[in-house]
Amino acid sequence: MPDKPLKLKLILYPLLLGLVLGLGFFIGLGLSTSGASAEPHDTASPTSVDSRPVAESTAASEAPPSDVRDLPADSSEPAAASEAAAPPPEGPPEGQLTSLRLDPTLNSRTDLGVDELATIQMFQRLSASVVFVTSIAQRRDFFSMRVGEYEAGSGSGFVWDTEGHIVTNYHVIAGATAGIKVTMADQSVLNAEVVGVAPEKDLAVLRVSYDAPELSPLPLGRSDDLLVGQSVLAIGNPFGLDQTLTTGIISALGRTIPSADNDSEADIHDVIQTDAAINPGNSGGPLLDSSGRLIGVNTAIASPSGAYAGVGFAIPADTVRWVVPDLIEYGRVQRPGLGFTHFGIDANRRLNFAGVLVRTVDPDGPAAQANLQSTYRNDRGQIVFGDIVTAIDGELIRTPGDLLLILEGHAIGDMVTVTYVRDRRSFEARIRLAAE
């Protein structure tokens, strides 16, 4: 039959396949058995052959290197025993900060550098002495005719003493016609009264009613020994963002800037220049040295755009030191005087002259004794100009501001030589300075 060879092939092929597979299995089993019982072919001495079981040898090769700790002779010891005998962990690296610590209630970080910690600790200690000053003014609505209040200006200030005196810039409060508000560090808002102002120094002193134990005055430093490159810090309220800290250096010393006194156009001298960021709202805030002492009062910036451009100015602490006590006690700066009043800078500009035009003479003052003449109107209503003071002790006077600065360098009772012009002729007179 034609289909018998096909059936025979179907029977023989599986048998042959099974025979081949079975033969391969037995051959492989035999090779494995002979390999396990055969001697190694290593020519090294028998002592160099590791006769331990494979698993033990593998574990030994995975053990820590011998330079960490020598393994015990008995490898059957528990792993915990070797761990217990391990040396204790090393302490903090040499030089790690351990003496400086932050206030744990404010920050628990200890991985900070010495300079960072010093700055943070200083801010935590002194920021409570910095306040936010807001000037309030009134205006009438054009349509409703109602009078409403608005913010005429804002800036910073700082606590001067435990009696509630706050120091700020004069220009911060100059527009206040309806009151001044002071926001303390604890966010309490207090009404403030003006104690004294010095427009020619751009300084003002306010007073608030606050619990004395809560007031922390800033330590007062010096400005006569400052150096360019010295680190400084400024705390204030730029753009109304309270309790803002910026840092920088002293960029220059001995700068001169105009004051807020439009009447005398007096300049402020020995001003500190800094690159610490000072923006609108920082005015009146403290400039501190790296020890946290007050070395200046932030007052102005030089910028083409009106925002911070890297040049800020601060009134020196040595000026603040003598001006503020006068403002607290007298309400204004106490200077020795010549016994006369004078016109402001507008007269110099209108009449185009250099010097100080005498306006009125105190009949009991030293100027009257030296026969200085005042300005007056005659019977026909014409103005008769008085004397023009042009120098004191040979130091030229061009504006009323120059006169103020010269008098600041003298004391009450000093004798000075006053040079003045009358009818286009120059005269001199000896005058003893008296209290203004």
By annotation, the residues acting in catalysis are 171, 202, 283
Exposure string of 329-338, with b = 16+ CB inside 10 Å and e = fewer, is eeeebbbbbb
- Where does residue 39 rank: exposed (0-12), middle (13-18), buried (19+ CB within 10 A)? exposed
What dihedral do alpha carbons 303, 306, 311, 312 form, nearest 10°?
140
What is the Cα gyration radius of the chain? 44
Residues 6 or more apart whose CB falls under 8 angstroms from that of 335 comprise 404, 407, 408, 436
Amino acid at 16: L
Q: Which of 262, 257, 275, 251 is CA-nearest to residue 315? A: 257
Q: Which of 174, 175, 176, 171 is CA-nearest to residue 202? A: 171
Pair 132, 182: CB distance under 8 Å: yes
User: What H or E segment, with its residue span, contains residue 116?
Assistant: helix 114-126
- Where does residue 392 rank: exposed (0-12), middle (13-18), buried (19+ CB within 10 A)? buried
Q: Which long-range contacts (CB under 8 A, 24 or more apart) does 357-362 make?
A: 357/385, 357/386, 357/387, 357/388, 358/386, 358/387, 358/388, 358/389, 358/420, 359/386, 361/386
